[in-house]
A and B are shown apart, each in its own frame.
Chain A
Amino acid sequence: MSRSVRTRSLVDRAVTVLCVAATALAIVPLFSVLYYVAARGLGGVNLAFFTELPAPVGEVGGGAANAIIGSLELVGLACLIGIPPGILAGVYLAEYGNSKLGQLVRFSADVMAGVPSITVGLFVYSLVVLSTGHFSAYAGGLALAIIMLPTVTRTTEELLRLVPEALREAALGLGVAKWRTTVSILLRTALPGVATGVMLAIARVFGETAPLLFTSFSNRYWAESLNEPTASLPVQIFTYAVSPYEDWHRQAWAAALLLVVFILVLNVSARLLVRPRV
């Protein structure tokens, strides 16, 4: 170290400034996206947007009522299909996961989390859509559930492992069966954390588009049942954004605003929920 103290502290200062600049740079897009979505989306939100079906191609007006309901249906289905298995698999990993099988499951869950969502769409297409012969909300819900599954599993495992060992020992010491201990003591203690993880998983799939393109597809009318092609907000945004119509752009921004608000609310409340405990 032959350099003088002055240059060394200057270099130190410079690196700090660079890191601050990088952080600012990384956050700029977030604010830009939020600004655009708010500024352009608010102009597109009106009563018709929430209550009406899309207007015929080329006509001004209409809404996204079917897409809003469709999105809720799809995410609801995904929760029904994805959350219970996810939590149970997570319990297995936390309770019996130090086995060979546990390692393999953990590894598979990690792999699954890294699979591109579009390939999940392809998978569900050939599994469900090809065999039933048509697009449906069921297929879309299944695709979203597959995307949720690894997150829910790993979150459940991590949070169960955080529960103090003393709680388990106290219950076992009182003669409570192991499964009762896990369900009534450990899972209950970990519940707020697990709920947070589930909320974040829901927030994520709410905006997923790629896996829905060839599973639930889209629909310009009300779907009569869950067994039919179903509109959803993300697919609607995609279709409208790449269309040449001015009025569709307006509705794309409105739909984006709705989506972003919903996701932000989920993320912020997940954060508030978890803060007092950890």
Chain B
Amino acid sequence: MTAVSTEFPPSQGQVSSRRPPSQVNWGDRAFKVTTAGFAILIIVTIAAMALEMLTASKLSLREFGWRFLTSTDWNPVVGTFGALPFIYGTVVSSLLALALAVPVSIAVAMFLSEMAPPQLRGPLAFAVELLAAVPSVVYGLWGIFALAPLMRDHVEPALRAIFGFLPFFQGPNQGFGLLTGSMVLAIMITPTITSVSREVFRAIPRTFREAALALGATRWESIRTGVLPVARPGLVGAAILGLGRALGETMAVTMLIGNRPEISASLFAPSYTMASVIANEFTEATEDLYLAALAEIGLLLFAVTILLNLVARLLVWRVAGTTSGGRA
């Protein structure tokens, strides 16, 4: 019997390690090398990006050092550059957006994966995904003509009437400012957080819920005791992915945040973000130092978003276990 099988010619499709070295399949070899080449291209691109940004910002790195991060003096005319107002605007608008979007997104994800009738899930999930498909610049346009007037005439007066004793809700309501920028950011990161949270919920075995239900728990109790504790790291990861997206978001924020490099306690006041200052000033910058300062802001943004994505993906993998994480 064994003799028979050895009479077959060696199959073309065998695993190459079992093949005698003389019968290397050159087609396969070439295929592997080609595809590997393009795969490596991705690594090269990311590395080139880091290197290029570093070189572009060298002048500013050398001139200002750490002072760049703590100085509020942004004056292209005299050539002093401090990025603190932009860092402040970016961090505050993104965190505020996160605070607005996370509760809503997790509730949406919970509704879509735990509560909604099956025939509603598909269309509703699609609608939330479409929120992510609308281009940033269209959100900006909508923001200028719909959201900003709404904020100026209704939301901001109402906030002042209720919370006016806090410094965050004082000053003239202008429509264009930190709060409006955060609102549009919140809308834009909701689909990201929702879809990753749904993925996290979906990864949790049915039995976790059923165990609680079998003990007489209501649906909410089964979610609270059986699902949420397990899902927590994944949900934190989803929020961080949302944060990463908010930090780098450019157009809509640029069109709504007011673009003034000032640090003000009031959320109604205009502010400026890192991405916005690059978008607005890069093509106007002619001095080498000016360009380098803007590139350094870009480098900072690049480094921070990479770090956040890293942490977020590790957290999501811990729960969902797949490599598919949401798109940031």
Contacts and interface: CB of A to CB of B under 8 A. Distances in A.
Interface of A: 8-9, 11-12, 15-16, 18-23, 25-27, 29-30, 32-33, 36-37, 40, 84-86, 88-89, 91-93, 95-96, 101-102, 104-106, 108-120, 122-123, 125-127, 146, 149-151, 153-154, 158, 171-182, 203-204, 206-210, 213-214, 217, 234, 237-238, 241-242, 249, 252-253, 256, 259-260, 263-264, 267, 271
B34 A204 contact: no
Interface string B74-113: 0000000000000000000000000000011101101110
Given A116-B305, A118-B275, 4 more contacts: A32-B146, A110-B313, A115-B248, A204-B133
Contact of B194 (A26, A126, A214): A26
Nearest to B51: A123
B153 interface: no
A119 B25 contact: no
A115 B104 contact: no
B295 interface: yes
Interface in B124-141: 124, 126-131, 133-141
A105 B37 CA distance: 11
B138 A207 contact: yes
A262 to B, nearest CB: 10
A275 to B, nearest CB: 9
B206 interface: no
Closest 7 CB pairs of A and B: A116-B248, A207-B135, A172-B13, A22-B107, A179-B31, A92-B35, A19-B111
A122 B34 contact: no
Given A27-B128, A180-B27, A19 B138 contact: no
Interface string B113-124: 001100000001
Interface of B: 11-14, 25, 27-28, 30-32, 34-43, 45-46, 48-49, 52-53, 55-56, 103-105, 107-108, 110-112, 115-116, 124, 126-131, 133-142, 144-146, 187, 190, 194, 218-221, 241, 244-245, 247-251, 255, 275, 278-279, 282-283, 294-295, 298, 301-302, 305-306, 308-310, 313, 323-325, 327-328
Contact of B309 (A25, A105, A110, A242): A110
B250 A22 contact: no
B45 A149 contact: yes
Contacts of A181: 13
Contact of B13 (A21, A89, A173, A234): A173
Contacts of A33: 134, 138-139, 142
13 contacts: A8-B221, A21-B107, A30-B134, A96-B36, A122-B53, A126-B55, A151-B327, A154-B324, A181-B13, A214-B282, A234-B251, A238-B137, A267-B130
B36 A241 contact: no
Q: Interface majority SS on A: helix, strand, loop or mixed?
A: helix
Contact of B46 (A108, A122, A174): A108
A125 B111 CA distance: 44
Contacts of A109: 42
Contacts of A88: 34-35, 37-39
A115 B105 CA distance: 22
Given A23-B112, A209-B135, A217 B194 contact: no
A266 to B, nearest CB: 8
B32, B130, B309, B324 — which one has the most chain A CB atoms within 10 A of its CB?
B130
A213 B138 contact: no
Given A111-B306, A256-B141, A263-B135, A217 B283 contact: yes
